[in-house]
């Protein structure tokens, strides 16, 4: 299945049904009076977060979604049927944005969550509704109100606890494959990863979800390379693991180039907790390793980890550091929920 994390679709709620203009016609009843029923309400456009989906591929080949119209009112005071709703099913982590791409209409983060995006039009009144003591035979019925319509963006942001960032070929996919059951493509050329990947990490009896995104290069925020669009998938992460290739020419400059892209992207990534690690250390001699670690420490202003996903060196220490930050974040959320007063 192809991974699709963004789609633009057109949605429209149903029109309301027209009211009926009718009079009672029955033997031996001389003045039957008006008996036109009201029209039914049009269907709503509802978005629902469901389990079992991890891509927006369903919205790749169909872009127009319309709810059913309400039924017309009928004689004998019969109301029209209500139009059926149309339900858009999306995976957890999907954001619903207005056509401008900035205004958030809904954020679907929990399975079972439902949001009504567009309300169906109300049905029109039949002539029985307008009967009064001074107008006992109204010849008036209302048409139904039209439904609402708009173009919206569906944007999937993977829900993960930790995210991997770095330049292409920094060892992110190798790290994901070594620490989870995921099987990302691993090869010795840039941009091996074209789509984000997820894996579940187990360390010291704890579990967390790790996300891998395509590599960033200088100018990614301007669309260079694969751009920075995939950074949306690590916006929800509690911590970032920044991998810097130990075989690069200058580890400090490499780190700063990726940090510049994160800062340019914004959306909270610039302030997110970060663990810095020098990767592929099994390929370095002791002198080069010491030099690269010193360069990286000066650039990051913190002591970096040294690891090799291929040999396993330093991998468990990195996972424990990630798990510690994630656990702290979860505890803070639980404390905040308990501290907040209950409101009816």
| 227 in a known ligand binding site | no
Distance CA 216, CA 196 (A): 13
Tell me if 168 is assigned to a ligand binding site: yes
Task: Answer yes or no: is 166 a known binding residue.
Answer: yes
| Cβ pair 272, 165 in contact under 8 A | no
DSSP character at residue 340: S
- Give how far Cα 98 sits from Cα of 10, 11, 327, Å: 11, 11, 35
Is 268 annotated to bind ligand?
A: no
Answer yes or no: is 280 a known binding residue: yes
Both tokens of 136, joined, read: 């006992």
Q: Please check if 286 is assigned to a binding site.
A: no
214 annotated to a ligand binding site: yes
Ligand-binding site membership of 294 (annotated): no
* Contacts of 323 by beta carbon, 8 Å cutoff, 6+ apart: 201, 203, 204, 206, 208
Identify any residues that bridge with 200 across adjacent strands, giving them in sequence order: 209
* 282 annotated as a binding-site residue: yes
Does 278 show up as a binding residue in the annotation? no
225 is in an annotated binding site: no
> 64: annotated binding-site residue?
no
What is d(CA 193, CA 315) in angstroms, rounded to the nearest whole number? 21
212 belongs to an annotated ligand binding site: yes
Residue 215 annotated as binding site:
yes
Q: Is 194 annotated as a binding residue?
A: yes
CB 73 within 8 Å of CB 17: yes
Tell me whether residue 208 is annotated as binding: no
Does 195 belong to an annotated binding site?
yes
309 appears as a binding residue in the annotation:
yes
CA distance 85 to 9: 17
171 is in an annotated binding site: yes
> Is 167 annotated to bind ligand?
yes
Query: Rounded to an integer, what distance in angstroms lies between the CA atom of residue 149 and that of residue 42?
Result: 13
Compute the distance between CA of residue 327 and CA of residue 333 in angstroms, rounded to an integer: 10
For residue 312, count other CB atoms closer than 10 A to its CB: 12
Binding residues for GTP: 166-173, 191-195, 212-215, 279-282, 308-310
Q: Which residues are annotated as a binding site for Mg(2+)?
A: 173, 193
Give the residue numbers of the binding site: 166-173, 191-195, 212-215, 279-282, 308-310
């Amino acid at each position: 299945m192809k991974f699709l994390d963004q789609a633009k679709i057109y949605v429209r709620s149903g029109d309301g049904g027209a009211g009926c203009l009718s009079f009672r016609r029955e033997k031996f009843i001389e003045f039957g009076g008006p008996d036109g029923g009201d029209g039914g309400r049009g269907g709503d456009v509802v978005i629902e977060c469901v389990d079992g989906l991890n891509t927006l591929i369903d919205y790749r080949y169909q872009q127009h979604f319309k709810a059913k119209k309400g039924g017309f009112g009928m004689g004998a005071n019969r109301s029209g049927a209500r139009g059926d709703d149309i339900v858009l099913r999306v995976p957890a982590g999907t954001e619903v944005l207005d056509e401008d791409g900035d205004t958030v209409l809904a954020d679907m983060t929990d399975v079972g969550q439902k949001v009504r995006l567009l309300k169906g039009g109300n049905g029109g009144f039949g002539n029985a509704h307008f009967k009064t003591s001074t107008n006992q035979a109204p010849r008036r019925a209302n048409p139904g109100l039209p439904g609402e319509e708009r173009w919206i963006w569906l944007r999937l942001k993977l829900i993960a606890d930790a995210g991997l960032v770095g330049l292409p070929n920094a060892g992110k996919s190798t790290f994901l494959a070594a620490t989870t059951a995921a099987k990302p493509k691993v090869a010795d050329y840039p941009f091996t990863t074209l789509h984000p990947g997820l894996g579940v990490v187990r360390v010291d009896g704890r579990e967390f979800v790790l996300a891998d995104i395509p590599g960033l290069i200088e100018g990614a925020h301007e669309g260079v390379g694969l751009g920075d669009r995939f950074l949306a998938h690590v916006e929800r992460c509690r911590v970032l693991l920044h991998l810097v290739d130990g075989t690069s020419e200058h580890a400090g400059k490499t780190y700063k180039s990726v940090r510049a892209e994160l800062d340019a992207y914004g959306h909270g990534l610039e302030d997110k907790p970060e663990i810095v690690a020098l990767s592929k250390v099994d390929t370095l001699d002791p002198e080069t390793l010491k030099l690269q670690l010193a360069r990286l420490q000066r650039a990051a202003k913190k002591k970096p980890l040294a690891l090799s996903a291929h040999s396993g060196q330093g991998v468990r220490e990195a996972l424990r550091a990630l798990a510690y930050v994630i656990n702290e974040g979860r505890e803070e959320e639980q404390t905040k929920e308990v501290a907040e007063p209950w409101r009816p």
